[in-house]
């Protein structure tokens, strides 16, 4: 396959390169694209150097597979033009997720939807992917009716600038300063990427809040889960929070099913689910953690227990690397499903 990556200089673009190499994706030609300010930068892949290029105006990326992670506005403007030149676009942005023409795919959950593509396939939001890695197998077994989800989302979900802000603010606080510049003062470090200080703090996810009181990230969890599970009446209420963690999102989930579900039944289902690893050691108080999930392909699931507020309901906790399974790995898995037999 001829492969193109749009947004090759970003965190997801770099992770895509690593995963393509790790999984020996059959790449006959690689083309890397990013903004004009990154053009000319050289990146190594499979023992060879590749120059990052600016996007061509005619939309022909010279590829069979295009991984797009340069932002929603870029995908919104160009994805169908790239597809018109014969490429299948695997889009990591939010641009086309809810478009009826575009399958929204987690391969372990709804790989069958890939066959319906018309040139563009969407990668779901990272928090949706991580939640559904646990909820989808339970849904298949017991019929999911509703879920409440509280997320603990790492700063790398906001890109490299989010990581830099957490690192600089943390150093400033520990050094007795209030700002990344190191200048002493009485207040907290001044935020730049985020609306509020992130070091030793947490706050509601930095997406706009709608009239219904839910922010964009919370709304994605509802709407994307309904589309992926083909469950239009599924009820999901989410509270999404940004936390001072560098990498990997965690989520506390309370779920109700069409019939009462025991902890033992849920554990048996999850232990057999692809891409899931059960981490549930009560004796040693060891459960899913972002540090343990970082750099891993599997989504970690634990804290399995009956929901004391809802007889027959289930409570659980998950952690997953939002750059790998929440973005780059999921996209490569979609591309692998497109390979000829």
Would you call 240 a catalytic residue per the annotation?
A: no
CATH architecture of 128-154+202-322: 2-Layer Sandwich (3.30)
Q: Contact at 8 Å (CB) between 43 and 17?
A: yes
Enumerate long-range contacts of 275-278, CB under 8 Å, 24 or more apart: 275/108, 275/133, 275/299, 275/325, 276/133, 276/134, 276/137, 276/300, 276/301, 277/301, 278/302, 278/304
Catalytic residue among 50, 78, 117, 126: 126
What sign does the dihedral 325-328-329-330 (CA atoms) show?
positive
> Which segments of the chain belong to CATH 3.30.360.10?
128-154+202-322
Distance CA 262, CA 304 (A): 10
CATH of 2-124+328-338, one of 3.40.50.720, 3.60.20.10, 3.30.830.10, 3.30.70.360: 3.40.50.720
Entry pTM? 0.93
H-run or E-run covering 239: strand 235-242
Distance from C-alpha of 241 to C-alpha of 236, rounded to nearest angstrom:
16
Spell out the per-residue pLDDT of the chain, length 341, in tens.
Answer: 999 999 998 889 999 999 999 999 999 999 999 888 888 889 888 888 999 999 998 999 999 999 999 889 999 999 999 999 999 999 999 999 999 999 999 999 999 999 999 999 999 999 999 999 999 999 999 999 999 999 999 999 888 889 999 999 999 888 876 544 555 555 556 888 999 999 999 999 988 998 999 999 999 999 999 999 999 999 999 999 999 999 999 999 999 999 999 999 999 999 999 999 999 999 999 999 999 999 999 999 999 999 999 999 999 999 999 999 999 999 999 999 999 87
Domain with CATH 3.40.50.720 in the chain: 2-124+328-338
Q: Is 335 helix (H, G, I), strand (E, B) or coil?
A: helix
Residue showing tokens 């599970």: 229
């Amino acid at each position: 396959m001829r492969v193109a990556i749009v947004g090759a200089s970003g965190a997801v673009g770099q992770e895509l390169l690593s995963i393509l190499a790790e999984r020996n994706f059959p790449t006959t030609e690689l083309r890397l694209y990013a903004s004009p300010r990154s053009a000319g930068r050289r990146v190594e892949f499979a023992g060879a150097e590749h120059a990052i290029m600016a996007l061509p105006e005619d939309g022909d990326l010279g590829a069979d597979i295009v991984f797009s992670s340069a932002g929603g506005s870029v995908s919104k403007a160009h994805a169908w033009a790239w597809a018109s030149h014969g490429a299948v676009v695997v889009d990591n942005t939010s641009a086309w997720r809810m478009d009826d023409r575009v399958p929204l795919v987690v391969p372990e959950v709804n790989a069958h939807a890939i066959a319906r593509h018309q040139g563009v396939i969407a990668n779901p939001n990272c928090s949706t992917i991580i939640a559904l890695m646990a909820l989808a197998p339970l849904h298949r077994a017991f019929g999911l009716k509703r879920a409440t989800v509280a997320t603990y989302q790492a700063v790398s979900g906001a890109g490299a600038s989010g990581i830099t802000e957490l690192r600089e603010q943390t150093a400033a606080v520990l050094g007795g300063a209030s700002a990344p510049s190191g200048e002493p003062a009485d207040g907290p470090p001044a935020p730049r990427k985020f609306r509020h200080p992130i070091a030793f703090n947490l706050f509601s996810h930095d997406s706009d809040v709608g009239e219904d009181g839910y922010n964009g990230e919370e709304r994605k969890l509802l709407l994307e889960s309904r589309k992926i599970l083909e469950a239009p009446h599924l009820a999901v209420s989410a509270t999404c929070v940004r936390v001072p963690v560098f990498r990997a999102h965690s989520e506390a989930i309370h779920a109700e099913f069409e019939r009462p579900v025991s902890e033992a039944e849920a554990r048996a289902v999850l232990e057999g689910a692809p891409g899931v690893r059960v981490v549930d050691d009560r004796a040693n108080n060891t459960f899913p953690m972002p540090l343990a999930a970082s750099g891993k392909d599997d989504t970690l699931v634990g804290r399995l227990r009956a929901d004391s507020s809802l007889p027959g309901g289930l409570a659980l906790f998950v952690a997953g690397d939002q750059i790998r399974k929440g973005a780059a790995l999921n996209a490569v898995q979609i591309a692998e499903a497109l390979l000829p037999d």
